[in-house]
Amino acid sequence: MQAIILAAGESSRFWPLSENNHKSLVKIMGKPLIQWVIESLKESDLREIIIIESPERNIEKALGDGKNINANIKYVVQQEPRGMGNALMCAEKLINEDFFVINPNYVNVRELIKKMSEKKEKTKAKMILLGTKTNKPWDYGILKLEEDYVKEIVEKPEKGKEPSDIRIIGIYLLPKEFFNYHRRVKEHNYSYEDALQIICQELDSRVIIMEKDTTSLKYPWDLFKISKEVMDLYLNESYISESSKISKNVIIEGNVWIGENTKIYENVVIKGPCYIGNNCIVGNSSLIRKYSNIESNSIIGAFSEISNVIIQEGVHVHSGFFGDSIIGKNCKIGAGTIFANRRMDRKEIKSVVKGELINTGLDYFGSVIGENSKLGISVGLMPGVMIGSEVIIGPQTQVRENIESNTTYHSEFKGVKKNINDDNKNNNI
């Protein structure tokens, strides 16, 4: 069968990492997330892959036609973000059989593809959905079921009126006839769900109920779970390139990947699983702790502590503490910088997204920084802070709130906002 990967959305809740690229192009272990998804699809013998992307064509620029990864990739452009239904309709001419629809963050999709394919073969059903239990059914599309038959999909039901506690997971095995059903509904942002509703009523539709949810990619901090998943799946043994240089008294524990021409200086301790790309430098007496991901051409200065940090290409950091944070490409960070990753009261950390205070669900979470930003010496960032791209932060500045892109920020500047949401201020305790 064929597979469609939906990668045309604006991803506004993924700011600041979505400003210059689609969120699926964040790199983990040297590859964009969407490439890990494609390789998982290949393992399922799904080699005809259609990617729906935005007019910028960033994914096509990054992956090309897929020949270098032995995959047959075709691209369709959705000119405007008009919902999943419109996105799929853009690909109709390329679909000649039943097909999968997936989001570009399911790095272990092969296991799900296998279960859904087996279910279809066994039951001869026309549509196969995935579901999982939820204790907040009013926030999701909820399935009305008779055994494993899907009879109805109720979007965000009222409390007390939910038909079950099973919500849809965003991977679908759809019949080729989907497009005819979609033409029967009025096109709007949720026309996709309307079309599925009719299919449930008229065709044999089944569900597989999963014991655990799949990993979403809505907010930047969702990357931590996905990065861990990639390392657990694919970093099964250590690899140290012959061209790398490992100095005396370096301690390497667990599964660690060290790329070509990378230099690890004296007294460094690396506790895997960790990934360090090509042409990197790790300075003397630094500590790199588990699930840290350092992409190529990056420099970790002497006496740095790196813990569960996702660093993109070309980042330079000097001494400091960097905990549970994400740093975009080509950022430069001065000595003595602290990325605080815990509240003193140990409560869950909140972050402001699109003006709304969101509970991240994390006890450990530092900061997220967009591309090409520069931080002076002795900068302190409080938990949950988001910093845009092309930002300059002056030395000895304490950052307690989000900073928009293309901003020069210093705590001594007049006009810098001082009043922030009281709940957000609690992160600074």
- Over the stretch 143-188, which tens digit does the pLDDT of each residue have? 999 999 999 998 888 888 889 999 998 899 999 999 999 999 998 8
CA distances from 412 to 337, 345, 399, 402 (A): 18, 28, 12, 17
In this structure, what is the dihedral angle of CA atoms 318, 322, 327, 329, given to the nearest 10 degrees?
20
Tokens representing 149 are 């038959």
Residue 426 predicted with pLDDT over 80: no
- Over the stretch 247-276, which tens digit does the pLDDT of each residue have? 999 999 999 999 999 999 999 999 999 999
Q: Where are the domains of the chain?
A: 2-218, 221-428
pLDDT band at 410 (very low <50, low <70, confident <90, very high): confident
301 vs 320: CA distance, rounded Å:
9
Q: Strand (E) positions, 35-123? A: 48-53, 72-77, 99-102
Could you tell me the CATH superfamily of domain 2-218? Answer: Spore Coat Polysaccharide Biosynthesis Protein SpsA; Chain A (3.90.550.10)
- Over the stretch 294-353, which tens digit does the pLDDT of each residue have? 999 999 999 999 999 999 999 999 999 999 999 999 999 999 999 999 999 999 999 999
pLDDT score for 415:
39
Burial class from Cβ neighbours inside 10 Å (0-12, 13-18, 19+) for residue 332 reads middle
How would CATH label the architecture of 221-428?
A: 3 Solenoid (2.160)
318 vs 284: CA distance, rounded Å:
11
- Over the stretch 372-400, which tens digit does the pLDDT of each residue have? 999 999 999 999 999 999 999 999 999 99
pLDDT score for 417:
44
For 356-362, which contacts have Cβ atoms below 8 Å and span 24 or more sequence positions? 357/421, 357/423, 357/424, 358/219, 360/219, 360/221, 360/384, 362/221, 362/224, 362/324
63 vs 32: CA distance, rounded Å:
9
